[in-house]
Structure 1
């Protein structure tokens, strides 16, 4: 995510960064970046389902380190796409890339597959530790940056989009944030890190602050692809040898530096004129696209400060505000619903679309997501009601990305439930909806301890829908039995 190639450019110009001893401060954390970073840096399994206990321990260690330095973290996590849907093409490209990586991942390569339940474990761990957490509606970058600006504290992230916002206390790049080696200084401790500010960037490259969004957009970000302009021809004479991407960025910055006294509009007009072989209509469309992308770098008024200080519910886009109950909005924002909740993804509400997670599995077999489609159809039905528009699910077929229409389904006991009253709904009805969705009769669970009824029912569903090999069933049953023995004996069963 972020501005393409900017990280490499900055790593080659260490004068950008300020050495910083960080303590006694608020910190706004890009939760999506942090979760990925911790998981990757711990070198945990990515190709066989994930290592969640080890990941949980790493997350706990990270936030304990912040606490030891009197750093108060506020974690902000991306939702899905917002109403504008401006990142759709970028998200589609990411999905296609993940699908293409499956064969190499099956051979044991580390291909940056994010373990399926990592986000859920991350959110649950933070909730258990009472770390303030919010899941935004749509993209979180603007809200996160606005909160850091209002509180005058840094942002912790790996996303170079934050390098474009003019933040008073700048950005702490996660790759230079040495949380695993807290340094004691008398009675106080601190974390050694580096800090980035737009003022140091603009000073080094001699460009005006107001041109940073122009730079990010023309360079190529999550919204606009790099344009067919040979920016490298503007690299100053005598500059050291650089790769193509870095030389393009340096050339673009040099070109912008020569226009630091021009208005943003004049600069954009000059940039558009450099694009060869383009008609007037295409040029007009491109102008609109670039301007829309630049708007993403304007700091909005933040709704997060009141969420954290007063526990107010985040506002929703007008398109869905009238029919999404408050309990859903509050639960989503707090990260209470977990990965399996279709409601967690506002793409369903805003665009009738869901990008299903791409997993490491044999690509010549059907996607494992097909196994859970009946469950998702019931959840779509509860959310969108029977007869509503079909949901477009994006999943893999072989090594390609395809869309399949899933019809919302409301039948049986589910017809007695309404989304706005689910938490207060009759317990027997809610249980019946769950069992009907899994295809299990309540009588079949007689004699099964209450806390094991859901795992047993889900296992029964899995057996019928996925037809797993017997050895996989035996492995699952052994884990369940071992877990029950540990629960009863306090982990003293021995071998």
Structure 2
């Protein structure tokens, strides 16, 4: 998810994100954001396989600093793409961009923020060794992460701009301003704390309109390129970047419609695009409403996991294709989110590595191993798997047949954990 341009707009606004010293509290941590920031801010190798021992030391130092300040972290991580394909185009666009970046890195040797292949594994393993509570969700983590922070009335630590929209009593501590290396142990960690109340006060907008604002601003679900929100900027507004002008113009337009319902507001948006066909408008409205639903926080399914070890239930859309035994190892981070994507979507988006694009993808080397994995997961009649990988400098999809032979012909996915390992004859 993410509201494009919002973080940049709020970067220098100290009224909305005042300075703060943080200590003696629970903290819900966006694990994916944190591992990326720790790796990329540490000047570690990105182009030749990674520096995992040095990365482990960074993770250890970060969580030691939290402990020294009386901060109890709870790390929440993404676990696959979930049950919906609504973000597929966005994910594929990001993958195409990464293919180009890896090509540039291979040619120039520059660091372009490509995460080495085993970084996430090292991160999870280090958290386990440090006894830091961690859970992996059954899809994107943002909503559950925010729901947990709301129930605990504690802050979220993240860089994701969606947390500017969620109603979080403890606010957002932006990772870019979380100065854990400059800690003052008695006072806490210097940072900046954002709250929606400060945002709404600064822009004179009703709190209930924030989800509408986020969906119209063009997040991962919807991008209304034909609407030029900058034309609604108040007279006398200072010069600002194009993206900021659009966001401030949208906020001004919404502020003028505070007497209208959400439905009226969305209908008014469609009138701003008279060239759009009725069918296209209907589809856009549907997408906008879907995007808004992402900001309605449910009761947290993670609280029980952290307090009592209760494994969260599978989403309804996974019940028919994901066996129940997958829940616990997935929540503990013992299974890759790729497993869920394979079972739900029959798709595997392969990791892009730094390598010469005039050579074939290195992922081809391990395809026979993946075919065995597909056979174990999907069994006989499970259908082909769509592998998404690079072909030269382009993103390409290819259908791969699962390999079902030997023991895999007799095994069933729902009983896979009960299968004993073969015994070896002595000598």
- TM-score normalised by the chain length of structure 2: 0.95
Q: Distance in 1 between matches of 2:401 and 2:175?
A: 42
Cα distance in structure 2, aligned partners of 1:256 and 1:288:
19
Alpha-carbon contact 1:24-1:71 (below 8 Å) kept: yes
Out of 399, 404, 411, the residue aligned to residue 405 of structure 1 is 399
2:385 pairs with 1:391: yes
1:294-443 to structure 2, matched below 5 A, reads 294-321=292-319, 324-337=322-335, 341=336, 344-428=338-422
What is the count of residue pairs matched by the alignment?
426
Q: Does 1:136 align with 2:137?
A: yes
Contact kept in structure 2, 1:210 and 1:264, CA below 8 Å: no
Mapped to 2, the partners of 1:335 and 1:61 lie a distance apart of 21
Note the alpha carbon deviations across 1:381-422, whole angstroms, 9 max, x for none.
111112211111100001111111111212123334444444
CA–CA distance in structure 2, aligned partners of residues 322 and 263 of structure 1? 38
Q: Secondary structure at the match of 1:349?
A: helix
Counterpart CA distance in 2 for 1:370 and 1:87 is: 26
What residue is the counterpart of 1:159 in the other structure? 160
Shift of 1:22: 0.8
Alignment-derived partner of residue 195 in structure 2:
197
- The question of 1:93 aligning with 2:93 is answered yes
Counterpart contact for 1:49–1:115, Cα < 8 Å: yes
Pairing 1:154-233 to 2, within 5 Å after superposition? 154-185=155-186, 189-233=187-231
SS at match of 1:388: coil
CA distance in 2, matches of 1:320, 1:264: 31
CA shift for structure 1 position 47: 1.5
Larger radius of gyration: 1
Contact 2:230 2:246 in 1 (8 A): yes
- Which is richer in helix? 1
* SS of corresponding position for 1:277: coil
Find the residue that maps to 1:250 and give its secondary structure. Answer: helix
Does the CA-based 8 Å contact 2:379-2:408 persist in structure 1? Answer: no
CA distance in 2, matches of 1:59, 1:377: 34
Q: Structure 2 CA distance, aligned partners of 1:322 and 1:266?
A: 38
CA separation in 1, counterparts of 2:173 and 2:350?
Answer: 32
Q: Identify the residue that residue 471 of structure 1 maps to in structure 2.
A: none
What is aligned with 1:75? 75
CA RMSD, aligned part only?
1.8
Q: For residues 309-368 of structure 1, what are the alpha-carbon distances to aligned partners after superposition, in whole Å with 9 as ceiling and x for unaligned? A: 11122211334435644442211111123xxx5x65311111111110011111111111
Aligned equivalent of 1:150: 151
Alpha-carbon distance in 2 for matches of 1:164, 1:208 = 12
Equivalences for residues 6-45 of structure 1 within 5 A: 6-45=6-45
CA distance, structure 2, for counterparts of residue 344 and residue 242 of structure 1: 41
User: What does 1:232-251 align with in structure 2 at a 5 Å threshold?
Assistant: 232-251=230-249
Unaligned stretches of 5+ residues in structure 2? none
8 Å contact kept, 2:321–2:343: no
1:81-118 per-residue CA deviation (whole Å, 9 max, x = no partner) reads: 11122211110110111112223111122222111111
Q: Which residue of 2 aligns with 1:110?
A: 111
* C-alpha distance in 1 between matches for 2:255 and 2:321: 50
Hey, what's the Cα distance between the residues in 1 that align with 2:293 and 2:417?
A: 39
SS in 2 for 1:53: helix
Alignment check: 8 A CA contact 2:338 2:348 kept? no
Q: Is the 8 A contact 1:79 1:345 kept in 2?
A: no
Deviations 1:448-471 (A, max 9, x none): xxxxxxxxxxxxxxxxxxxxxxxx
- Unmatched segments (≥5 aa) in structure 1: 432-441, 447-495
Q: Relative contact order (C-alpha < 8 Å, sep 6+): which is higher?
A: 2
Whole-angstrom distance in 2 between the partners of 1:320 and 1:146: 21
SS at match of 1:332: helix
